[in-house]
Structure 1
Amino acid sequence: MSPSPRPLPPELGGQFSVRRASDAGATRRRMRARDLTRPFRGVRRSVRFIEERGAATERDKKPYAEFRRKRQELIDDAHAYAMVMPPGAFFCGATAAVIGDSLPVKFPDALDVAVVAPQRAPRAKGVRGRKVAEHLVTIGQFEGLRLTSPASTWAMLGRDHDLRDLVAIGDALVQIPRDNFGLQHPEFARATIADLATELARGPRPPSTKKLHEALGLIRVGSSSVLETEFRLDAAAAGLPDPELDMEIHYDGTRLGISEFVYPRYRVVVEVEGDHHRTSRGQWNRDIEKYQAYVEAGWETIRLTSSHIRGREADALQRVAAALKRHGWVG
């Protein structure tokens, strides 16, 4: 049996650069031990670190646990690469979108890393390099990582995303969060529509300039999921009346609930329900109470799931149009 590797200096933590380890007294041979992995050239990550991360995510049974697990893995990779990344480099694209803003983009299969021209884009295994003009990017920080600001991230995603994706991403950025009491907190919004407009005013971004401007005109405050954005865009294209978004419903001075799409003139509410409405017992019970209160106050509620909006036999628009017509809308 091989002897156990000599313990590493505790100040190195779970992942570290080879140079820092050498400065702390670790030998080259120690850097080749089996209890260390190599996420990037010049970086080591301990197997124990990986196991502890895995155990922590296994304990997470709340909705969207898989997203949080994958996001944490991406953050760990970004911290690892940051130890050896070129001076002045920063994370961008889908990497910045997931790490900094938890935006609805496909998880990147490599770290998106950019530099300002005329620097050369970084090249390394597990890294997708990019070079950008200085006047077209603003840089911020997240947990000590340099990455594009929310508005710059959105604009840079224009190259690789279609119009509907850009609207959904923009909707997510400008959404005004609510706390557990349902109170809005504009100060916690990651960006405003004005921020996105200011970003586009920095200059053209061929070949996505036109697409970005078109997306900007379609972004709205109040859509809190991709499904909601998809339904909103489809409803507008079909000629349905414009709804109020993320609206509070009151009756006799009491707030009955907050709903995604509300047609006040027709007393119709549309709820777009993700899977957590089904899997969370607390959410399920709250929904039942809210919808009963809506009925008693004279509102009709149309509940939609992903199969109604994007399924093979999607009929969300027909369902909502029929409800509106029952309440006096002439389509």
Structure 2
Amino acid sequence: MARVEAVSALPHRFLRTSRKCPQAYPATFTIDCVCRILTFMHTTIRSPADFQTAPVPFMHRDLEARGLTEFALKDRSRFIQVFRGVWVEAAPSSRVLCPPWAGHQWLQQQVRLSALLLLHPNVVGCSLTAAVLYGLPLPHQLTDFDTHVITSDRGLRIRRRAVQLHRGSGFDITEFYNLPLISATDLFFELAPLLGADDLVAVGDAAISRQNSGPLTSLDQLRARAEASHYLKARKSVRRALSLIRETVDSPRETWLRLWIIENGFPEPVVHPEVRCSTVSAALRPDLGYPDIKLAIEYEGDHHRTSSYQFGVDIERRQLLEAEGWVVLRVSKRTDMDTFKHILATYLS
């Protein structure tokens, strides 16, 4: 019974995948409905859902239900005004639905977008806001804490601090952890003019892989959208990205390393080549590799160094690869890439 109550408590918008498909489950659930909802959650939310403590925005009309008065809202130690007419608790106790990887920036944008939706329920998160909420990688220098939303309503005006209103038509909408966002396919093309060529490839790699909550779209969908567009912004960057995006990439640094190898004149390595290991009867998949010469290249992030478990796994994997006759080259953010270029050349020449 506890499972039924937990599921039935989820907001209806969490149970929809697209604004184009607005049907929601009824408020009174049968066992069959619960099974369908659990199946939906398993197939639609590809990463497990989590709940974190975060403020839930409310408006003046909610004061009575919350047992509050207008005078209470003036206490800044208790309440913070997000936008004019929308407040949140300064010390929240509410639990909000979020992806398991969500951090402070994700929760901050979730609160601001949720607050704005109370005032303008027909807008949709887009641009850098949608990228943050989807968990797509953005370059560090692209720091923007504004809330970006899009609408097809030409008459809508929003004049609020740190809110940017975009206008468009024909875009698809995805309900992502109870938030309406422009689809990841449309977002890729919206971000194209804002990102460098390599950064756009990293976004595409993340969008079609299992990074964070993906895959959010597919390479076929991105290509079809590009072919169907008569007017395409940053067309050169988009075409280059679509030729270089690869499935199953685990991290933006893997993307960076693969592109670095290509841009330095080496053949493109295979992403996660399968290596059959006879020692433990398993398949090993290094980050990058050249199966024809049995050369593997691994990118070692900081967690490989700080996690004793991951460190042990890395050692064992390297030993197993070497037992199969493979050479393993390792790269980290501290690697001298000029030296690495010469080392790689000795194997690929």
Is it true that 1:27 corresponds to 2:53 in the alignment?
A: no
Greater Cα offset, 39-48 or 245-254? 245-254
TM-score with structure 1 setting the length: 0.78
Q: Secondary structure at the match of 2:148?
A: strand
Matched to 2:92, the amino acid is: F
Partner of 1:4: none
Equivalent of residue 139 in structure 1, options 145, 167, 173:
173
Deviation at 1:191, TM superposition (A): 1.4
Q: Secondary structure at the match of 1:239?
A: coil
Q: Is contact 1:103–1:173 with CA below 8 Å preserved after alignment?
A: yes
Partner of 1:127: 163
Matched to 2:59, the amino acid is: V
CA RMSD of aligned residues (A): 2.7
Q: Secondary structure at the match of 1:259?
A: coil
Q: Measured at CA, do residues 206 and 23 of structure 1 come closer, stay the same or move farther in structure 2, by a change above 3 Å? A: farther
Equivalent of residue 291 in structure 1, options 287, 299, 318:
318
Deviation at 1:218, TM superposition (A): 1.7
Matched to 2:288, the amino acid is: F
Deviation at 1:43, TM superposition (A): 1.0
Q: Secondary structure at the match of 2:334?
A: helix
Equivalent of residue 276 in structure 1, options 303, 312, 315:
303
Equivalent of residue 231 in structure 1, options 257, 282, 288:
257
Partner of 1:320: 344
Instruction: Identify unmatched segments of 5+ residues in structure 2.
Output: 1-53
Alpha-carbon distance in structure 2 between the residues aligned to 1:205 and 1:33: 51
Q: Secondary structure at the match of 1:48?
A: coil
Partner of 1:160: 194
Q: Secondary structure at the match of 1:141?
A: strand
Is it true that 1:113 corresponds to 2:149 in the alignment?
A: yes
Deviation at 1:201, TM superposition (A): 3.4
Alpha-carbon distance in structure 2 between the residues aligned to 1:254 and 1:314: 37
Q: Secondary structure at the match of 2:314?
A: helix
Q: Is contact 2:273–2:291 with CA below 8 Å preserved after alignment?
A: no
Equivalent of residue 80 in structure 1, options 99, 110, 115:
115
Cα deviations across residues 199-249 of structure 1 (Å, max 9, x unaligned)? 223424554233222221221113222221122112122231232212232
Q: Secondary structure at the match of 2:57?
A: strand
Q: Is contact 1:113–1:122 with CA below 8 Å preserved after alignment?
A: no
Partner of 1:242: 268
Is it true that 1:305 corresponds to 2:339 in the alignment?
A: no
By relative contact order (CA 8 Å, sep 6+), the higher-ranking structure is 2
Q: Is contact 2:123–2:149 with CA below 8 Å preserved after alignment?
A: yes
Identity %: 25
Q: Secondary structure at the match of 1:167?
A: helix
Alpha-carbon distance in structure 1 between the residues aligned to 2:267 and 2:176: 40
Q: Is contact 2:200–2:241 with CA below 8 Å preserved after alignment?
A: yes
Deviation at 1:314, TM superposition (A): 4.6
Q: Secondary structure at the match of 2:287?
A: strand
Instruction: Identify unmatched segments of 5+ residues in structure 1.
Output: 1-12, 54-63, 179-186
Partner of 1:184: none
Q: Measured at CA, do residues 276 and 291 of structure 1 come closer, stay the same or move farther in structure 2, by a change above 3 Å? A: same
Q: Is contact 1:272–1:304 with CA below 8 Å preserved after alignment?
A: yes
Q: Measured at CA, do residues 200 and 292 of structure 1 come closer, stay the same or move farther in structure 2, by a change above 3 Å? A: same
Q: Measured at CA, do residues 28 and 120 of structure 1 come closer, stay the same or move farther in structure 2, by a change above 3 Å? A: same
Deviation at 1:145, TM superposition (A): 1.4
Q: Secondary structure at the match of 2:82?
A: coil
Cα deviations across residues 16-70 of structure 1 (Å, max 9, x unaligned)? 33233245364322222221001222111111118x89xxxxxxxxxx98x7232
Alpha-carbon distance in structure 2 between the residues aligned to 1:188 and 1:30: 42
Structure-to-structure mapping, 1:38-77, within 5 angstroms: 38-49=81-92, 68-77=103-112
Matched to 2:302, the amino acid is: D
Q: Is contact 2:147–2:162 with CA below 8 Å preserved after alignment?
A: yes
Is it true that 1:210 corresponds to 2:210 in the alignment?
A: no
Deviation at 1:150, TM superposition (A): 1.0
Partner of 1:181: none
Q: Is contact 2:55–2:111 with CA below 8 Å preserved after alignment?
A: no
Cα deviations across residues 252-289 of structure 1 (Å, max 9, x unaligned)? 27225321101111111000111111111110000011
Alpha-carbon distance in structure 1 between the residues aligned to 2:231 and 2:200: 14
Q: Measured at CA, do residues 114 and 248 of structure 1 come closer, stay the same or move farther in structure 2, by a change above 3 Å? A: same
Q: Measured at CA, do residues 104 and 113 of structure 1 come closer, stay the same or move farther in structure 2, by a change above 3 Å? A: same
Matched to 2:314, the amino acid is: D
